[in-house]
Structure 1
Amino acid sequence: MKVLHILGSQGMGWTGGIRATLASLAQTRLSSWVEFQLVTQDQAKDTVKSWQPDLLVLHRASSWKGIPDLLTWKAKARILIEHHYSAGFEQHQVPSTWRFRAMLRLNYRLMDRVVSISEGQQHWLESARLVPPEKVRLIRSSRNLDPFLQVPEKANSDELFTLAAYGRFTHQKGFDRLIEAVRLLPIGSVQLLLGGQGPDERSLKTLANNHPHIHFLGKIDDVPGLLSRCDAVVIPSRWEPWGNVCLEARAAARPVLVSDVDGLTEQAKNCGIQFQSENCQLLADAIIQMIQASPEQRKSWGQQGRFSAAQAWDDYVDAWEQVLREFK
């Protein structure tokens, strides 16, 4: 069985990279009966023609502009992995709900399956009647977590409580609200290690205003190393269909603070604190709650998170196998 994965023109990034994740998937037991190939949408036309795949798996964002490609790329079946859109995205980024939903319904109609990457996203897809429930499948996003599962549990320390946050510096990730929340707290109560790069970097540094305990780390090549330095991880996203940062933090046995949106909500159960995503003061209060939690409570959150993440990769492979066998 030939399966062609199609990404956006520039590929896609999440922590660790979707290319690396799909390469790992291709090395699992699925390789005994599935041949995978990965291209960008610019390369797709020629590859579809020359390789003649049985199944197209689209990882790119749906759009009006992309519909003609769907009509010309020929294969026995098509699957769309919905990495991009969610209830939170719709709330924050969509000026015309009816037009946006019409575009999605048309794109999804051209698919044999639509794969949601979290229960929260699946609920939105079905409750908004964007796609018939019988066409939806759930594959919770994952990656190979071995380096994160090997991060030692955080030992108790008298050092300043350390929060870590990392990702692309964009409006979606909510780092502006995180910085504002830290600035609301007394100096010396917490330090923030903020890793990443992106278009909002200059404005975020301006907002931090040389705060003595907000540290910009730049691009993070060793994420497990960063997680080993912190007491907890904060994910303040405005929308997040899934959120691999939360998955990585859980695997590293670090308690999490997450905004109550999309796929983050289901990930944080029993392993941290949730806060209302639009309120900086509530985020500041959640940080204080995390700091004031007993070491035993934080350890319990971390252990619960690691336990919940330990089988994530195996579950990911199992879910892929179930979907692919529908087209074998």
Structure 2
Amino acid sequence: MIRIAHLVDDTGAGGVTRYLDFLAADPVMARRMTHRIVPVSRTRPAATAIKADLIVSHLTVTWRGLPGLMALRARHAGTPIVHVEHSYCAGFVAANVRARRRFHTLLRTAYALFDRVVAVSEAQAEWLRLRGLVSDAALSVIPPCVELKAFHALPAPEGCRTIGAIGRFDRQKGFDLLIRAFRALPEPTLVLRMIGDGEERARLEALAEGDPRIRFEGFASDPVAAMAGCDAVAMPSRWEPYGLVALEARAAGRRLLVSGADGLADHVGYGATPVQGGTVEAWTEALQAVRRGEAEVTFGAVADGGRQCRSGWDALVSTTLGAVSEPDVLPGALPA
């Protein structure tokens, strides 16, 4: 049995934690590997004793944390170490980084410490290639997954009167743009459910003030129940390496509007509707089209959503450890 240790510096109830819970609990992958979650310090990951055949970093790369990654590499010189990039993408750099040459130097230096780097979307992988941050030989693409069976079981919505905005209230998510676009819609019975919390909440509530159709519902401990109350989902993110909410919306058969930024572009190939331009006017028009039923759900069979994820980890283990994989007989499939 192959032992895999996943290093995390944040154990909050976010997408990375749910993804790792899926890996640890999945019975198909458990036939050949065990996934153990190991909380570590972002700046001193080598301080924690790790016994594994493969170490996987889910840490955020920073200049402050770079010496810690070097120490991790030195302490485990004989163990393959892989990094999964959850944080950075082209949209992140465009929106947040001024000293881009310096930032790219940080990433190249950090990524060189790992045997492989895993991108969470094809769009993110293309950015890594174009910027010369990772060589093709050292790059893998594994879309993350969570347990989707309960999302599949949700009944299809009748009509489209409730729009869901699900996620952390942060500038990244573009919910300020969505609120402005929604307020331009005239229908009094439409509802915008703001499901989440974060430092942008007060600002978003101020933008929504005076419109009783916009409801702030707080953090949802049950993402399935949150999705059940939405007829459509809007994701106007300014940057998004992948977007698990998009995968969940697809599994639930909800109409899905996305900005197309970074990894959200991957979901367009599976039926999500891209909103071109990223302006308030463009989002108002897209919301109107959803309301009129013009943005139909055309998703292929998402099945359990795990096959690409499982096969990706199987290939990664084979590449880094030289293991011989079992034949691909994994149940369920995402559309090719």
State the TM-score, normalized to the length of structure 2. 0.87
Deviates more, 1:275-284 or 1:101-110: 275-284
Moved more, 69-78 or 19-28: 19-28
Indicate the structure with greater helix content: 1
Partner of 1:30: 29
Distance 2:301 2:93 in 1: 29
Cα separation, 2, equivalents of 1:109 and 1:270: 33
Partner of 1:230: 230
Q: Assess if the C-alpha contact under 8 Å between 2:231 and 2:254 holds in 1.
A: yes
Contact 1:261 1:277 in 2 (8 A): no
Q: Which residues of 2 match residues 1-328 of structure 1 at below 5 A?
A: 1-8=2-9, 10-11=10-11, 13-14=13-14, 17-27=15-25, 28-42=27-41, 44-48=45-49, 51-73=50-72, 74-75=75-76, 76-156=79-159, 161-188=161-188, 190-269=190-269, 271-276=271-276, 278-294=278-294, 298=296, 301=297, 304-305=298-299, 307-326=300-319, 327=321, 328=323
**CA distance, structure 1, for counterparts of residue 226 and residue 18 of structure 2:** 20
| Aligned length in residues | 313
Residue pair 1:83, 1:117 contacting (<8 A) in 2 also: yes
Please give the root-mean-square deviation of Cα atoms over the aligned residues, in Å: 1.9
Q: C-alpha offsets along residues 119-175 of structure 1, whole Å, 9 cap, x if unaligned?
A: 10011000111111111001011111111011111124xxx7211111110100111
Q: Give the drift of 1:78.
A: 1.0
- Segments of structure 2 that go 5 or more residues without pairing to the other structure are 324-336
What secondary structure sits across from 1:26 in the alignment?
A: helix
Distance 1:13 1:114, change over 3 A: farther
Is the CA contact 1:165–1:233 (under 8 Å) kept in the aligned structure 2?
A: yes
SS of structure 2 residue aligned to 1:316: helix
Question: Match for 2:64: what amino acid?
Answer: K
Q: In structure 2, what is the Cα distance between the partners aligned to 1:63 and 1:227?
A: 34
1:189 Cα deviation from its structure 2 partner = 6.2
- Judging changes above 3 Å, is the alpha-carbon distance between structure 1 residues 44 and 70 closer, same or farther for their aligned structure 2 residues? closer
Alignment check: 8 A CA contact 1:70 1:110 kept: yes
Residue 187 of structure 1: how far off its partner (Å)? 4.6
TM-score by length of 1: 0.89
Identity value in percent: 32
More deviation, 184-193/252-261? 184-193
Q: Give the partner amino acid of 2:145.
A: S
User: 1:162·1:191 contact (CA, 8 Å) conserved in 2?
Assistant: yes
1:225–1:11 CA distance, 2 compared to 1 (3 A):
closer
Which digits, 9 at most, give the CA deviation of each residue in 1:250-303, with x for residues without a partner? 000001011021111120235242113631111111111111235xx62xx1xx
Q: Label 1:272 to 1:72 Cα distance change in 2 as closer, same or farther (>3 A).
A: closer
Aligned to 2:103, what secondary structure does the other structure show?
helix
1-structure distance, mates of 2:121, 2:13 = 18
Secondary structure of 1:237's counterpart equals coil
Partner letter of residue 119 of structure 1?
E
How far apart are 1:25 and its partner, in Å?
Answer: 1.6
